[in-house]
Amino acid sequence: MAGPVLRHSNLDFFLARAEQARAEGEAATLAHVRERCERSAEAWSELAAKAARSERLREEEAERKALRDEAQ
């Protein structure tokens, strides 16, 4: 049971970092800093999306295996 919690924790971390980067970008006064923060936020958001997809696929696979085991 610790595995899914850890994975969800990673997803939360990625989402938090994306939000932090967005906030830093909005607060930035220099254009190059704002752009860097925007790129960072986009990268963290992509990592979060990949983590969410992986988590969903793991859950679907676990359900599929459970159904297969019930059928046997």
Q: What is the residue-averaged pLDDT of the chain? A: 90
* Number of independent structural domains in the chain: 1
Percent of the chain clearing pLDDT 70 (strictly above) = 90
CA dihedral 16, 18, 20, 22 (to 10 degrees): -150
Q: For residue 52, give its domain range.
A: 2-71
pLDDT in tens, 17-38: 999 999 999 999 999 999 999 9
At 59 the three-state DSSP class reads helix
- pLDDT for 3-22, tens place per residue? 555 567 899 999 999 999 99
